[in-house]
Each structure stands twice: as C-alpha cells, then as structure tokens.
C-alpha cells in the first residue's frame, strides 16, 4: 500500500472514518463533504490504480479536501473484482490497520465497479478472523450520481446526514472540478437541498447498511429522495 502524496509504502494510520471507493473521483462526489470536514480523522481507500492523468487529478482533489490519508490498492479498473478473495483480504487488512468506527461504501447501483466495491467491503467487514469480527462498525452507503435529490434510489432509506458548513461544500465542489466532473455543477445545490430538509444550511446524506452503538453520525427521520 502506497502513500498517495509521497509514493512511499507505508502502513495506513488509524482513523475514525474510512471511505472506500472503486476508483478516483467517486470519493469526492459521494463523500467529499465528509472528507473535507474530517480530513484529520478520515482515511480513504481507492481500489483501482489510476492512470497518470487521473492520479494528478486525484492529488489535486486531495489538496482541496485537506489531504485525508489515502491508500490506493492498485487493482486494474477493467479487471476489478476478478480476484475477490485478494481484494477482500486487502480490505480486511486495511480495516485492521485503520480501525474505523464508520465505513462508507458506494451504493451498489449503476456501475459494476461500485457493486464490486460494496460487496468486497461488506465481505471484509465479515471476515471471521478479521476486523469486523472483533468490533462493530457502522456502515453507510453513499450515492455518487445523485447530485439531484430526486435521483436517490426509491427503495433505500437515506436517513443519515452529515452537517456541513459552506467551506466544506466549497472544498467538495473544488475537488470535483479538479476531476473535470460533469456532476460538479449540481453538488452545491444538492448539499443545500439536503440540508434544508434537516433545517440546517448544508449536508450530505447516506443510507444505513449497518448501525453500531455510538456512531459518529446523525440519524434523522426526514430524508430527501428515496423512501422516508
């Protein structure tokens, strides 16, 4: 595992929050607000190795987000999931090293690589002799493509929110622009609409996959899009 900043192999540091993304870009669109707000206590795992251009974009986006600790596992994007046992084992090792209380996984829809990342993350958390067997972890799902709140999946309860301030939202938008993402333009509006439903200025929302005792996230009764 390599430090995405120095290029030096290293053991990932501990963090209270771990975002798992199949490839660069998804971490910003799905959890950019969380990463910006909690950069000092967040870690990030990217499954697929980016090409040179995407790596440069990733490093620039990380600077915008405050440089949360990032690890790239190095799998081929086009062959992601072909060796699930290896992927699950590497994620289980990462969970043991990071010891998060909350794990963020991509909602398994639209794209094969996001479904692979979700399945691998859940299997790693359930590894009999791994991290998941020793300590309960809250697992939340993020939706990369739902920049318009109506796009949230109808059969999912999006009942967790992360309050953000305007600076967090600005940093998320700036990071998305580093990727040249066509979705970047809707991120600010989406954060405002999600926040409005919670009677705050800005927020990101997530679906509960598994809730442990004492999570560092806020459950709510109201949700934007999907089921309420």
Place of tokens 């987000």: 65
If you average pLDDT over residues 176-181, what whole number do you get? 95
| Residue 227: inside a domain | no
152 within 8 A of 225, measured Cβ to Cβ? yes
Average pLDDT for the chain: 84
Structural domain harbouring 171: 2-219
| Residue 66: inside a domain | yes
| Residue 224: inside a domain | no
CATH number of the domain within which 180 lies: 3.40.50.10320
| Residue 86: inside a domain | yes
Q: Which residue has the higher pLDDT, 68 or 221?
A: 68
Tell me if residue 222 falls in helix, strand or coil. coil
Portion of the chain with pLDDT greater than 90, in percent: 59
153 within 8 A of 226, measured Cβ to Cβ? yes
CA distance 106 to 89: 19
User: pTM of the predicted model, to two decimals?
Assistant: 0.86
If you average pLDDT over residues 151-171, what whole number do you get? 87
| Residue 228: inside a domain | no
| pLDDT class of 80 with cuts at 50, 70, 90 | confident
Q: How many domains does the chain have?
A: 1
| Residue 201: inside a domain | yes
Burial 72-94 (b: 16+ CB within 10 A, else e): bbebeeeebbeeeeebbbbbbbb
pLDDT at 224: 44
If you average pLDDT over residues 74-83, what whole number do you get? 81
- Looking at residue 157, the DSSP 8-state letter turns out to be B
Tens digit of each residue's pLDDT (9 = 90 or more) over 2-48: 454 444 444 567 899 999 999 999 999 999 999 999 999 999 999 98
Tens digit of each residue's pLDDT (9 = 90 or more) over 51-66: 999 999 999 999 999 9
- Residue 71's nearest CA partner among 89, 91, 88 is 91
pLDDT at 210: 87
| Residue 225: inside a domain | no
| pLDDT class of 79 with cuts at 50, 70, 90 | confident
E strand segments, 84-188? 102-106, 138-142, 160-164
Tens digit of each residue's pLDDT (9 = 90 or more) over 199-226: 999 999 999 998 876 544 444 434 444 5
| Residue 89: inside a domain | yes
């Amino acid at each position: 595992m390599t430090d995405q900043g120095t290029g030096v192999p290293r053991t990932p540091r501990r963090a209270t929050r771990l975002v798992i993304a199949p490839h660069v870009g998804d971490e910003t669109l799905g959890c950019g607000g969380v990463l910006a707000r909690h950069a000092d206590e967040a870690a990030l795992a990217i499954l697929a190795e980016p090409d040179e251009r995407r790596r440069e974009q990733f490093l620039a986006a990380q600077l915008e987000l405050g440089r949360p600790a990032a690890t790239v596992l190095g799998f081929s994007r086009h062959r992601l999931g072909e060796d699930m046992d290896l992927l699950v084992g590497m994620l289980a090792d990462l969970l043991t090293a990071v010891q998060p209380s909350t794990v963020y996984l991509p909602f398994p829809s639209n794209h094969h690589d996001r479904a692979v990342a979700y399945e691998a993350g859940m299997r790693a958390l359930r590894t009999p002799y791994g991290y998941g067997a020793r300590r309960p972890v809250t697992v939340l799902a993020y939706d990369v493509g739902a920049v318009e709140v109506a796009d949230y999946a109808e059969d999912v309860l999006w009942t967790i929110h992360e309050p953000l301030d305007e600076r967090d939202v600005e940093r998320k938008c700036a990071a998305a622009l580093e990727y040249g993402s066509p979705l970047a333009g809707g991120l600010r509006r989406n954060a405002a609409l999600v926040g409005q439903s919670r009677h705050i200025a800005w927020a990101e929302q997530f679906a509960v996959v598994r809730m442990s005792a004492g999570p560092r996230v806020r459950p709510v009764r109201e949700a934007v899009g999907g089921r309420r």
